[in-house]
Amino acid sequence: MTAVDVQALIAQALEARHRSYSPYSGYAVGAALLGASGRVYLGCNIENAAYGESICAERTAVVKAVSEGEREFVAIAVATANGGMPCGACRQVLNEFAPEIDLIVVDGEGREVQHAPLTTILPFSFGPRNLTLPSPHDRT
């Protein structure tokens, strides 16, 4: 990705952050997920009075993309007020589809806090490759 592409993705994440529904935590998050097709899927966190039913911005973007047929991802920009990193659940969902995705985390002003592959913040991940079982003849 070029620097211009990164800045455009960051701008979209910042815009998505404004759509956040976060009346309980007050912590608005926006995400812009770049698919291999070149299409960008936006997500924001959506809270619920039954807290466990809330969904993060990153997972919102992934769910939207997958529901529209996209399953390969190049990069994701995540915008929060203070540059907070994606939670464990979001890291795991991103890992399912793109373990090497380019992760860009910015604060509310668009300043980069982290820009690295997902593997940097999710080392030793569990993913689809771990579910490949040996043949019955290889089991002891």
Q: In the chain, what are the domains?
A: 3-138 (3.40.140.10)
pLDDT category of residue 129 using cuts at 50, 70 and 90: confident
> Is residue 90's pLDDT more than 70?
yes
pLDDT category of residue 139 using cuts at 50, 70 and 90: low
pLDDT category of residue 128 using cuts at 50, 70 and 90: confident
Q: Based on the number of CB atoms within 10 Å of its own CB, is 107 exposed (0-12), middle (13-18) or buried (19 or more)?
A: middle
Catalytic residue among 47, 58, 96, 112: 58
Average pLDDT, rounded, for the chain: 94
The stretches of the chain forming alpha helices (DSSP H) are 3-17, 57-67, 88-97, 118-121
pLDDT category of residue 137 using cuts at 50, 70 and 90: low
Verify whether residue 58 is a known catalytic residue.
yes
> Is residue 140's pLDDT more than 90?
no
Q: Kindly state the tokens that stand for 64.
A: 């939207």
pLDDT at 70: 98
